[in-house]
Amino acid sequence: MNFRHFFLKDPKRMWPEATMLVAPLAVLFILGPDIYPNQSIFLELAVFIMLADALNIVYGYTGYLPFGFGVFFAIGAYGTAILISHASWPVAPAIIAGACFAALLSLLFTPLLRLSGAYFAISSLAAFEAFYLIFSNTQLTSLTGGPYGISFTQVYNANLDYSVAAVLAIASAIVVLVISKSTFGIALQAIREDRFAVELAGVSSLRYRTYAWLISSFISGIAGGLYGWYQGFFYPEAVFNLTEFSVLVIVFVLFGGKGTVFGPVVGTVILFLVYEILTITFSNSLLIIFGLLLVVLILFIPNGIEPLLRKAADLLLYPDGRD
């Protein structure tokens, strides 16, 4: 992989956007648990921000929507749990190794990248279901816990886990920002707009999509590892949860604005909090509400709310118009 594709010609131009991205998230994660004293909700928010940024790299910048995206999250969680429970690894190396397992798994899925549209989406969903059946198989109970779940004893520090999750959520947003400003990100967007024209220009769209796939799966694996450490015990249904870790994340990204830097973060923060409220008050109608929201987004706000927020910010900052 040629890392020069990630170099920025003028890094200083990125600082204003980086500040606008980091500062609100830092304030949210620092003051949030004081305003609403439930640290676990903000930890899960950090996990979902990482997942939204990871999905945005694949879906937002290349246009390839993987319905089975949550499989990388699950592999990260299981990889971390297995290394801690069976090999007595420390937490940090176990989470990193779990993310590496997720990235290696994504390499097995690279033939799917030759597909497009609904074929790619459905094939990724089939892969998700296949790995769910593998990890819940009773024949693997000694390794994965099978359908009975996997648990591991590890010194758990709630404040440390929360701090690490918050920092990594901010870091994932910065990764998306760097990609958006790099040659690599520009190439991904060109592939999204017209893959065949890019290939006629001599650029391997498959290679670039594979890079995006790897980065995305690694971030998802990190999120899964953090979630697994936070839970300490989970069933296959908890991490192989298509609704939460695939469908909801897709809705978050679409709502915020796929292919943008701020959109997925803003969309996740807003809709995750809405999701938590609805879980308490309308738990039986939750899927219907989010299903209708997805339809509305696709039909009426296909670009998400990020462009609308930018226009509103311009009107506030430049009421007389830009010079």
Tell me what percent of the residues of the chain surpass a pLDDT of 70.
92
Is 142 inside any structural domain?
yes
Q: Could you read off the pLDDT of 227-280 as tens digits, one per residue?
A: 998 888 898 998 998 888 888 899 899 999 999 999 999 999 999 988 888 777
Q: Could you read off the pLDDT of 19-31 as tens digits, one per residue?
A: 889 999 999 999 9
Instruction: Please state the domain count of the chain.
Output: 1
pLDDT at 176: 95
Query: Which of the four pLDDT bands, split at 50, 70 and 90, describes residue 320?
Result: low
Terminal C-alpha separation, the chain: 42
pLDDT at 224: 95
Is 22 inside any structural domain?
yes
In this prediction the pTM is 0.91
Q: Range of 8's domain?
A: 3-241
pLDDT at 211: 92
Residues 69, 258: Cα–Cα separation, whole Å:
15
Is 273 inside any structural domain?
no
Whether residue 150 contacts residue 85, with contact meaning beta carbons closer than 8 Å, is answered with: yes
C-alpha torsion sign, points 243, 245, 250, 253: positive
Is 296 inside any structural domain?
no
Residue 153, pLDDT > 80, answer: no
- Average pLDDT over the chain reads 86
Is 275 inside any structural domain?
no
Is 85 inside any structural domain?
yes
Is 119 inside any structural domain?
yes
- Crossing angle (nearest 10°) for helices 15-35 and 39-55: 150
Out of 58-67, 136-145, 160-169, 198-207, pick the least confident.
198-207
If one counts every other C-beta atom within 10 angstroms of the C-beta of residue 233, the result is 13
pLDDT at 9: 56
pLDDT at 121: 86
If one counts every other C-beta atom within 10 angstroms of the C-beta of residue 269, the result is 20
pLDDT at 117: 76
Residues 159, 172: Cα–Cα separation, whole Å:
20
What residues have CB less than 8 Å from 267, skipping those under 6 apart? Answer: 52, 252, 253, 254, 255, 256, 257, 304, 305, 306
Residue 1, pLDDT > 60, answer: no
